[in-house]
């Protein structure tokens, strides 16, 4: 097979397209993760005061989990738009929706002002954010996979998780900055609203970049009668869909355990919250910059090999590292950080190719729907529920058993990854 030669102008155009798509992705996920970072500050304001702190935490993290159940709806709605009317249109609408939901979050009335309507409104706005993010993933993963240069698609598509973790990093960093300039009481009294205003403004700014994107969906694919339909997905691609859900579930679960729940876990084992904030910020930064390295690795050793390494090594490592190592070294934050970085490197074998390993499994006319919907289902059932499920295990006094549950899912992921083709069925040639 002859090597594809790109002109300087073509390379520039494709790279700028990837930058444009990923910049909006960064803002979208920044807005989404602000919730996890500042949850401890708005919990009391938006929940009943007669609840004990554990019940309040379970409710707030339950809302976090509930938003993930909107993702399948969002992925279906925006996947339909992306496969029928274009990837660009889908991404523009999703970022607009996130801007609206962020401003609404900043304006939420407190329990003191509206009573039980407060936690209900919290749920509604969070569900709106879940709808937006549900539509974001499939369209962005598809667009970046199609725009990536042949032979380097793993490298270029990895920037989806560079910006995804970048959004999480910025949210975490913002939490550290706010703690430096505001007292905990000021944050409790309403300071938690400011980050959501910042997120809404950033979403509006990102519209400029996305409005200039070029479309990758061909007229031939968009004009197909069954483009972007669940009927086509489940009639002709149901085996692929189940396979992708299988390995996505464990990947998403591992991601949220390591990048979201670990913050709560480290606090629970006695590490100072400020120290935990610094640890998480540093580790997520390292995770972010590792993505292109592992993405490039996948271009050389194959997506299938990366997925097998991720699921196998993570299944072996997660219990001794989380349940044993971090507790033993809880008095030594540096070692805890190194252990967390080790897990994040294993996680990078999955996250760096999270989009492309799905996109290569579906044809163009149902690609955004297939990628987004499979990801959303895996996230809804296993990923977003991770912090809430972990807290339930903790409440039952068997917190370490939660990591056994993670291992079981990783073993399922290993067998699903074994079924991946050594050569992708789609996106083999240049788009």
State pLDDT tens for residues 306-358.
999 999 999 999 999 999 999 999 999 999 999 999 999 999 999 999 999 99
Residues near 297 by Cβ (< 8 Å), separated by ≥ 6? 154, 306, 352
Is residue 220 domain-resident? no
Distances (CA, A) of 404 to 250, 258, 260, 312, 350: 12, 15, 18, 14, 20
* Contact (CB, 8 A) for 379 and 68: yes
Rounded Cα distance, 254 and 410, in Å = 8
In this prediction, residue 430 carries a pLDDT of 58
Rounded Cα distance, 267 and 390, in Å = 14
Range of the domain at 238: 8-212+229-418
- Angle subtended by helix axes 238-256 and 367-378, to nearest 10: 50
Q: Phi/psi zone of residue 229: left (φ > 0), alpha (ψ -120 to 50 degrees), beta?
A: beta
Residue 250 maps to which CATH number? 1.20.1250.20
Rounded Cα distance, 221 and 82, in Å = 11
Is residue 264 domain-resident? yes
The low-confidence residues of the chain, meaning pLDDT below 50, are 1-2
* Contact (CB, 8 A) for 351 and 286: no
Is residue 385 domain-resident? yes
Residues near 187 by Cβ (< 8 Å), separated by ≥ 6? 38, 41, 178, 179
In this prediction, residue 108 carries a pLDDT of 93
Rounded Cα distance, 96 and 94, in Å = 5
H or E, element range at 391: helix 386-395
Is residue 427 domain-resident? no
In this prediction, residue 1 carries a pLDDT of 43
Helix/strand/coil for 2: coil
Residue 85 CB-half CA count within 13 A:
10
- CA-based torsion, 143, 131, 165, 30: positive or negative: positive
Rounded Cα distance, 98 and 132, in Å = 6
* Contact (CB, 8 A) for 244 and 356: no
Is residue 423 domain-resident? no
Is residue 238 domain-resident? yes
DSSP secondary structure code for residue 421 in this structure: -
- Radius of gyration of the chain from Cα atoms? 21
- CA-based torsion, 78, 218, 1, 158: positive or negative: negative
Number of domains forming the structure of the chain: 1
Is residue 223 domain-resident? no
Residues near 134 by Cβ (< 8 Å), separated by ≥ 6? 70, 71, 72, 73, 74, 75, 77, 78, 372, 376
State pLDDT tens for residues 122-150.
899 989 988 888 888 889 889 998 888 88
Is residue 343 domain-resident? yes
């Amino acid at each position: 097979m002859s090597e594809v030669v790109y002109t300087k102008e073509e390379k520039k155009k494709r790279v700028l397209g990837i930058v444009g798509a990923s910049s909006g992705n960064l803002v979208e996920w920044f807005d989404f993760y602000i919730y996890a970072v500042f949850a401890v500050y708005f919990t009391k304001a938006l929940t009943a005061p007669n609840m004990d702190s554990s019940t309040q935490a379970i409710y707030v993290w339950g809302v976090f989990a509930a938003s993930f159940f909107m993702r399948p709806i969002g992925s279906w709605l925006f996947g339909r738009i992306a496969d029928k009317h274009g990837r660009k249109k889908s991404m523009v609408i999703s970022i607009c929706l996130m801007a609206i939901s962020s401003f609404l979050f900043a304006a939420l009335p407190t329990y003191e002002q509206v009573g039980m309507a407060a936690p209900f409104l919290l749920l509604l706005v969070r569900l709106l954010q879940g709808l937006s993010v549900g539509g974001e993933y499939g369209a962005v993963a598809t667009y970046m996979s199609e725009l990536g240069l042949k032979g380097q698609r793993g490298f270029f598509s990895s920037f989806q998780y560079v910006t995804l973790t970048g959004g999480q990093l910025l949210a975490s960093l913002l939490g550290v900055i706010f703690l430096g300039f505001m007292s905990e009481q000021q944050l409790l009294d309403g300071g938690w609203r400011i980050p959501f205003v910042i997120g809404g403004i950033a979403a509006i700014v990102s519209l400029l970049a996305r409005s200039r994107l070029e479309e990758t969906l061909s007229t031939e694919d968009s004009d197909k009668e069954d483009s972007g339909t669940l009927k086509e997905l489940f009639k002709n691609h149901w085996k692929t869909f189940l396979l992708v859900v299988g390995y996505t579930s464990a990947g998403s679960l591992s991601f949220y355990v390591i990048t979201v729940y670990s913050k709560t876990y480290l606090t629970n084992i006695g590490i100072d919250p400020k120290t935990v904030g610094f640890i998480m910020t540093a580790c997520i930064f390292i995770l972010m910059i590792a993505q292109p390295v592992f993405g490039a690795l996948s271009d050389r050793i194959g997506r299938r090999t990366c997925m097998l390494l991720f699921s196998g090594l993570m299944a072996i490592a997660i219990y001794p590292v989380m349940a044993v190592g971090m507790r033993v070294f809880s008095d030594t934050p540096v070692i805890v950080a190194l252990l967390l970085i080790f897990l994040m490197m294993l996680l990078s074998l999955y996250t760096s190719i999270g989009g492309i390993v799905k996109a290569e499994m579906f044809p163009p006319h149902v690609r955004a729907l297939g990628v987004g919907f499979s990801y959303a289902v895996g996230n809804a059932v296993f990923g977003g529920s991770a912090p809430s499920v972990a807290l339930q295990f903790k409440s039952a006094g068997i917190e370490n058993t939660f990591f056994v549950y993670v291992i079981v899912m990783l073993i399922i992921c290993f067998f699903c990854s074994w079924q991946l083709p050594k050569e992708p069925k789609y996106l083999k040639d240049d788009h």
